[in-house]
A and B are shown apart, each in its own frame.
Chain A
């Protein structure tokens, strides 16, 4: 494949080029964000939440610290937060308003109330209190934003917990199981020990849930009714006899572990109380795989981020390939489309990979002079105007079939002048087809065949 000409000079130059290029490890444009940390389980750090007005700091992870903070806000600063149950993350909420109250006085955002008693209950007259509610547009937007972010966080975490195989936790009761996934763990707890925490597909933050359950067991507290017992066998006997080997649906502490509670539906009509099981025929149609409402099979509402494409010669990156080509024309006087007219798709691939490689090893594409640093190479390219594809003998090598950068988006936008004509430089052989004639299948397929 090497176009070794009669000219020995060119031959040695080519040899030097290919010999000098040692195997380079995989190069990437983007940072490697996969396989790093598992998704977080909190929107923000809630171990050190500062009061909106003073220097008090609260650790929401400890006991009822959150309620203490809210009580403090009322008692000391006379502030009430309306619909606190609707605020998804009190820590983020508090931080937001803390910053805002630095800039402007709180009266700007809070409504004022006049009540006839002091915070501790003693009667007084016309004491001023403040209420922070979603009448204030910023507050409304904040609450909506927190709901959205929390929903995304929960879904991401649920997705992770669904597929993660590095769970590795021993069973709470027996020494038999070392579960790989959370689903396995919960299934084992149910099938072997009859402890029903819920189905893995409906739960999130499973690690914390199991920690909480474990803590209750170790402190000899019943999971359901929260009574304390004198030793482990008594506790186990109680939980078994009373059917308390499950989570109390009225206990709000466990609400955050169930996905269904994050739906944020604001329905005025109360949901039908499912006292009796709904017969199959009367059940909502949407649980069948064939029922599809208009939004069901709509593929177009899933939006992602644009993958930026990096310039061949500098670090400028653009979302759209046309903008990038425009940048190269303007800033580097390099018209990519003009340079590749008449070349096949595979030749264009090689050109891109060749230029990327030369830029990486700090060699000029045109004159092949090497430089000790990126800046010097850039200076040379600019001054000598050597932004080009280089000579064909150098880029038309089989090694440049392979992408220099693993995630090089430039390679995904190479137009082909004649996409339908076959490319002589590539010979692709298809694999053998395995299907054999089957008379039964054939008669079944001909059953509905009509020559209309």
Chain B
């Protein structure tokens, strides 16, 4: 089939100007934020978005409901184009915003456009900048917002998360979103567990390729650090940034000492895998062969559900 830019499936990241979308994208996708983007006001981002996500999804960032009349007009005139072929809508709300009515109004108009153009899209709402709310008030405020959003979103179903770039909530929210977007993720998880048990790994993690968000994991014993996923993600993304400066790309990594060995490698077209072995006597080669064989198996799994995905792509 034909695929032009207009035909690619999209993930829309929308929200009011200044709600934190550019920072969020930069953090999740490890993009460098050039200083000037902040000064330009509205983020005019659509055509320049090269971020690929889950293999074939393209991330588009839109400022919705800013004061910029030029942006407003462009937005309204391009509405159908923007909202066609949308797989996911992620709408960001600034918890500090003083114009709740206005925010909800813009959100609703986006939902209308979604209903018209991509009724099967999944909708996620992020209540962002929660670190600015006092700790004892956070749950209360989030619950309030969630109820309002659920009510406003009918008949579409929206999933709400509270996020902040300064705690683990951002990472967890995006991990949940990605989890829901992976086709047949439960099957992947079962197979992952089997794989881990066969190769006698301490822990096996499955990452999304572009963002290193942990999709699924298996561990055979209690681990001490609850934040280890985010930390690994940050470390690898920093490494990717360094690699990109040298026009190199990151493929795989092995870390070994007398107590453990860790392997990070490409897995399927959408994922990376990290295997941690605490038995240092098992040679690296053995583990690497195991990973390679597992890869073939998992790719078949993905392809099973894959045709449905690519079929729908061809038919639009």
Is the pairing of A and B real?
Answer: no
Residues of A within 8 A of B (CB): none
Residues of B within 8 A of A (CB): none
